[in-house]
Amino acid sequence: MRPARTLALLISIIMLAACASTPPAPTEGLQSARQAIANAERADAGHYAPGDLGEARTKLASANAAVEEEKMIVAQRLADESRASAELAAARTGAAKAIAVNDDMKRSTATLIEEMKRNSGEK
């Protein structure tokens, strides 16, 4: 009876140790966040959405710090939030650029209409 009891105790200790181990670093999540920040920077989000881009960078730095502290679940969450903030910055940048192009086209159209009115009035 004693060996069975020792075996059960040993199995319990191993299972407890397995549950208490640190999850792996969120390498993929961190890489996705870095890539999203790089994409936002290439889109000129620093000019059009600096707040969102800054938040993405801050959260990525916090995620890296959480990895150093072996807080992998927190690191994954922060990496995901960083990626989302960077994607939001890129989207806001795209929207701002589209609005600028639209406004420019409206001004060009208005100029053409004025020119057409002048030319038709001269005839």
Q: Quote the number of domains for the chain.
A: 1
Within a domain: 3: no
For the cut 90, the answer to whether the pLDDT of residue 74 exceeds it is: yes
Within a domain: 6: no
Within a domain: 109: no
Within a domain: 117: no
Within a domain: 121: no
Within a domain: 45: yes
Within a domain: 29: yes
| pLDDT-based confidence at residue 87 (cuts at 50, 70, 90) | very high
User: Per residue in 11-70, pLDDT tens?
Assistant: 777 766 655 566 888 999 999 999 999 999 999 999 999 999 999 999 999 999 999 999
- State which residues form the domain around 53: 21-94
**In terms of C-beta distances under 8 Å and separation of at least 24 residues, what long-range contacts does 39-47 make, across chains too?**
39/86, 39/90, 40/86, 40/87, 40/89, 40/90, 40/93, 43/90, 43/93, 43/94, 44/93, 44/97, 45/86, 45/89, 45/90, 45/92, 45/93, 47/93
pTM: 0.73
